[in-house]
Structure 1
Amino acid sequence: MNEPLSFVHPTPDSPWGTFQAQIDRVLPYLGPLGRWVETVRRPKRCLIVDIPIEMDNGTIGHFEGYRVQHSLTRGPGKGGVRYHPDVTLEEVMALSGWMSIKNAAVNLPYGGAKGGIRVDPSKLSRNELEKLTRRYTSEIGIIIGPQQDIPAPDVNTNAQVMAWMMDTYSVNIGATATGVVTGKPIHLGGSLGRVKATGRGVFVTGREAARRGGLDLNGARVAVQGFGNVGSAATELFFQAGAKIVAIQDHTGTIANPNGFELADLMPHVQQRGGVGGFAEAETIDDEAFWDVDCDILVLAALEGQVGADRARRVKARLVLEGANGPTTTAGDDVLADRGILVVPDVICNAGGVTVSYFEWVQDFSSFFWTEDEINLRLDKIMVGALKHIWDTADHHRISLRTATFAVACERILMAREERGLYP
């Protein structure tokens, strides 16, 4: 009874191991609902698919893809699809679990899901990328749908990939189904404000955390790891609030300037060069030196598992904002807590993206679309309200914001599970 999953044995600092440890920590706060806790320790469904495509040179390439549905108790699955050479089933399982927590934490009517393909998309032509996407969509088409599971963009996927997914699914069912994915191009049923929504959520939660901690954003020093959609959007909003961006790290390198960057000069460089590396108006530093930069706010917007215990001992920030999923290991989390560094966890900090995805899904069903100002106002209201409830829970139990977020989310998921019961 309650034996561990037979197909994966996580190490403590692996993504799935981290998720399991986070569930362990919330158990004391679940009360009678704790009897259902195994339902959040296990994914509901894991689909592994082979994706064969004809490459441009005439050979047949095979790629491994995944779609994991962690929980469907509160609604259809919701979560992105990433294309990355390091994607594994265990990683996708953890990401789907975090999506369940995230959706419940902001009280969206979704369960959690995630997908991925183990591939380096930079090595594929546009034609090969389209073939890969369409075949993957066909393979997972047996479990996705507007009322079943709704993919979205994630690492190395974008609006074009979502358009191919939507079109493939629609062709296969014989009807246009715009609601099968979110993060689509605007003219195919996408929502205004979606591209920058996750970064905006990072800023909103960071702004509220700074206010509670007595940190004035005007003049605050911000370091950012990851400068894709999330990191760049958050950086722009912090800059507009008067903060100084003193260091940025992405896949092209690490740059620093204690006096702050001028985004008007940096952004054209990033657009032209594909990253921050080589920016002339900054000092290029070693990637590991990023963790020693003096700053007030650290934004983690790259990949999971970036901050273990060793790096956590070096962090100089007062406030850490998790724009990425799972960027801090359990050991790293403990070190940051012992040092009195406040962490706004991923499962609330980066929930802006899925919140606006929910808005897009609703708009697709109604065929009535909102302005970007309306989107941003609704997003801010939901994020601020959700964070306040989580903060009140943390204060009541004297626990971290992460454990409080899991407590709020697990209570909602497990209450729904108990009320629905088991069938048959």
Structure 2
Amino acid sequence: MTSPLSYVQPTADSPWGTYLMQVDRVAPYLGHLSRWIDTLKRPKRTLIVDIPIELDNGEVAHFEGYRVQHNLSRGPGKGGVRYHPDVTLEEVMALSAWMSIKNAAVNLPYGGAKGGIRVDPKKLSNKELERMTRRYTSEIGMIIGPQQDIPAPDVNTNPQIMAWMMDTYCMNTGSNATGVVTGKPVHLGGSLGRVKATGRGVFVTGREAARRLNMNLEGARVAVQGFGNVGSAAAELFAQAGAKIVAAQDHTGTIYNSKGFDIADITAHVKATGGVGGFKGAEPMDGEAFWDVACDILIPAALEGQITAERANRIQAKLVLEGANGPTVPSADDILAERGVLVVPDVICNAGGVTVSYFEWVQDFSSFFWTEDEINVRLDKIMIGALKKIWDTADRHQITLRTATFAVACERILKAREERGLYP
């Protein structure tokens, strides 16, 4: 396995290595389009930037930032920006590639992109965070824009950061281009329903998958890793459908209650303390024991690479819903398939967020905004339709949902590549 960039050397279970293996697995199902498959193995554009800022104490600090545009054959780049101390170029490359697949899987008119800064945002003051965000936006300003590349929130970024990005871009270009980012505050052109959209998509695809498995959500036991916007929203919707959230894990701890949590109580606790650790409505447990929890549905909604081969052998769930990007390494994917565990892959399962980001982008262009009910109805229709096509593809070829999702998405991307041709 080789990398198109000499300074990125992926391993099989690294983010970019995982993505390359996923692409290789789909090649037999692409027909004549497979001649273009190397297009998917090379990011179109990779930008590494230095971000110097003055700290509150007068010192100058430097941070490394990235923006990767993986493929733009089907439209402008689309993908989030994450602030995390472990961000690497390879990770951002993989995330941008998964965005290409995700956008094509739900048939949005976007290519894939992603960004990030290697930083622990908790160590910065609010003003330092603003200065870093604005400098980063200025540094990548040459390749972003409403018709070029549209950033959005991701790990440790939020509507306020998107507002700073939008304002910086507008000041630098002398425009009022609200559509340059999505995930903004509603009163600045953001969309209703955006905050819970990714979690809603996890629930909708999970509900459809449960029907296929003849699994009754009433009383179903759910374990959630990551209790941020995605995990908490999905947990809330599953609880409303009658399921029991029996386990949760995040950076603050791991908790368990066989009778299920009170969703209102744990949501209030997380809002007040920043995590699930210390929640009085459950018992603390060892972090690694989370993967042994007796449950029917597992929702990994944290970071990539969490379900390893060793953990895949221990998972008791019959249904895995990937709320995070890239949470399952390929070797673990194979084990889960052999064990009869159904995995709804990230590139369709968590596509609710980018779908409502698309709605926001469209609303910004038209200056006409929909109600939250309208947003949810449109989201559910798109997610259900996309999953049906993927499931039909999986049934036709007798392949996993992940490979089927890649087959549908890669066909759309490479068909666009072929029809556009090569210039010059």
Same fold, TM exceeding 0.5? yes
Please give the residue correspondences for 1:218-237 in structure 2 after superposition, counting only pairs within 5 Å: 218-237=218-237
- For 1:56, the aligned partner's letter is D
| Contact 2:244 2:261 (C-alpha < 8 Å) held by counterparts | yes
For 1:193 and 1:57, locate their aligned partners in 2 and report how far apart those are by CA, in whole Å: 39
Please give the residue correspondences for 1:24-423 in structure 2 after superposition, counting only pairs within 5 Å: 24-423=24-423
- For 1:169, the aligned partner's letter is Y
- The alpha carbon displacement at 1:264 in A equals 2.2
User: Secondary structure of the equivalent of 1:294?
Assistant: coil
User: Secondary structure of the equivalent of 2:388?
Assistant: helix
- The alpha carbon displacement at 1:18 in A equals 0.1
- The alpha carbon displacement at 1:3 in A equals 7.7
| Contact 2:247 2:293 (C-alpha < 8 Å) held by counterparts | yes
Match of 2:14 in 1: 14
For 2:11 and 2:221, locate their aligned partners in 1 and report how far apart those are by CA, in whole Å: 35
| Contact 2:4 2:41 (C-alpha < 8 Å) held by counterparts | no
TM-score (norm 1): 0.99
Aligned length: 423
For 1:263 and 1:280, locate their aligned partners in 2 and report how far apart those are by CA, in whole Å: 12
For 2:211 and 2:82, locate their aligned partners in 1 and report how far apart those are by CA, in whole Å: 34
For 2:327 and 2:393, locate their aligned partners in 1 and report how far apart those are by CA, in whole Å: 23
- For 1:274, the aligned partner's letter is G
User: Secondary structure of the equivalent of 1:57?
Assistant: coil
- For 1:139, the aligned partner's letter is E
Change beyond 3 A, Cα 1:4–1:207: same
User: Secondary structure of the equivalent of 1:242?
Assistant: coil
For 2:285 and 2:215, locate their aligned partners in 1 and report how far apart those are by CA, in whole Å: 27
User: Secondary structure of the equivalent of 2:313?
Assistant: helix
For 2:219 and 2:240, locate their aligned partners in 1 and report how far apart those are by CA, in whole Å: 11
- RMSD over aligned CA atoms reads 0.8
User: Secondary structure of the equivalent of 1:91?
Assistant: helix
Structure 1 stretches lacking a partner, 5+ long = none
User: Secondary structure of the equivalent of 2:406?
Assistant: helix
- For 2:122, the aligned partner's letter is S
- For 2:312, the aligned partner's letter is A
Percentage of identical aligned residues: 80
TM-score (norm 2): 0.99
User: Secondary structure of the equivalent of 1:66?
Assistant: strand
- The alpha carbon displacement at 1:268 in A equals 1.6
For 1:211 and 1:380, locate their aligned partners in 2 and report how far apart those are by CA, in whole Å: 15
- The alpha carbon displacement at 1:318 in A equals 0.3
- For 1:399, the aligned partner's letter is I
For 1:68 and 1:189, locate their aligned partners in 2 and report how far apart those are by CA, in whole Å: 25
For 1:3 and 1:356, locate their aligned partners in 2 and report how far apart those are by CA, in whole Å: 33
Change beyond 3 A, Cα 1:409–1:181: same
For 2:10 and 2:278, locate their aligned partners in 1 and report how far apart those are by CA, in whole Å: 38
| Contact 2:217 2:243 (C-alpha < 8 Å) held by counterparts | yes
Structure 2 stretches lacking a partner, 5+ long = none
- For 1:17, the aligned partner's letter is G
| Contact 2:101 2:347 (C-alpha < 8 Å) held by counterparts | yes
For 1:264 and 1:193, locate their aligned partners in 2 and report how far apart those are by CA, in whole Å: 19
For 1:144 and 1:4, locate their aligned partners in 2 and report how far apart those are by CA, in whole Å: 23
- The alpha carbon displacement at 1:266 in A equals 1.5
| Contact 2:200 2:233 (C-alpha < 8 Å) held by counterparts | yes
- For 2:190, the aligned partner's letter is G
C-alpha offsets along residues 135-193 of structure 1, whole Å, 9 cap, x if unaligned?
A: 00000000000000000000000000000000000000001110000000000000000
For 2:6 and 2:250, locate their aligned partners in 1 and report how far apart those are by CA, in whole Å: 36
For 1:60 and 1:264, locate their aligned partners in 2 and report how far apart those are by CA, in whole Å: 43
For 2:185 and 2:30, locate their aligned partners in 1 and report how far apart those are by CA, in whole Å: 41
| Contact 2:66 2:92 (C-alpha < 8 Å) held by counterparts | yes
- For 1:159, the aligned partner's letter is P
For 2:320 and 2:370, locate their aligned partners in 1 and report how far apart those are by CA, in whole Å: 32
- For 2:405, the aligned partner's letter is T
- For 1:269, the aligned partner's letter is H
